[in-house]
Amino acid sequence: MFIKKLYHYNKSMCVSFVAFILLFVMINYKWGVVATPVLQYGMYSSTFYRSDTQTVYMIEADDKIINCAGISLTERDILQIYPEDYEKQKPVNDAAYQTMRNYIKYTGLLRYMQYDKYSNRIGDKAFTDWYKVQVEKIIKSPVKSLKVYKQHFQWKLNKLEPVDTLTKLTYFGT
């Protein structure tokens, strides 16, 4: 048995190991089995409710919609997550700047803070060009025209129902 061998090898390490395991057993019991010895389930996310609105991006390359069900999860993430992240970049940049500003003002160095140091400067053209290359890699053919549409859905009566109409994203102008 590992613990027995560890005890004979190093008693303090064995006590530390057993305390570590007992601590996480207690945490699992207290929190309802959501922690492991390495990480806590949900520590990088929040609870997902079925009533939440889901954003779906439909990508049309050369007048053909890409079937996201027919590609890998990694490729689907590239097609679905990056447009959403690009749209959110301004509020995220502002939040990063404001958060750092709150901490730096206590040091007296606030006058040296520049917004540019806490934000990215990715323009529509740069993002569209990069995204087009990713789409080309996924569908394994060159893309002459790229259109991206966005629509929100909600889970109702055991299926996804559209909440709004399909909207074309204007910054994809290729």
**One-letter-per-residue 3-state SS of the chain:** CHHHHHHHHCHHHHHHHHHHHHHHHHHHHHHCCCECCCCECCCCCCCCCCCCEEEEEEEEECCEECCHHHCCHHHHHHHHHHHHHHHHHHHHHHHHHHHHHHHHCCCCCHHHCCHHHHCCCCCHHHHHHHHHHHHHHHHCCCCCCEEEEEEEEEEECCEEEECCCCEECCCCCC
* CA dist., res. 98 & res. 117, Å (int): 12
144-159 pLDDT per residue, tens:
999 999 999 998 888 8
Measured CA to CA in angstroms, residue 118 lies from 17, 106, 107, 121 at distances of: 41, 18, 17, 10
**Predicted local distance difference test score (pLDDT) of residue 162:** 92
12-63 pLDDT per residue, tens:
999 999 998 888 777 767 665 555 555 555 555 666 666 678 899 999 999 9
Of the candidates 130, 129, 131, the one whose C-alpha atom is nearest the C-alpha of residue 66 is 131
CA-based end-to-end distance of the chain: 64
pLDDT higher at 75 or 24: 75
Mean of all residue pLDDT scores within the chain? 85
**Predicted local distance difference test score (pLDDT) of residue 117:** 82
Using the Cα atoms of residue 44, residue 74, residue 96 and residue 167 in order, give the sign of their dihedral. negative
86-118 pLDDT per residue, tens:
999 989 889 888 888 888 888 888 888 888 888
Residue matched to tokens 């207690």: 26
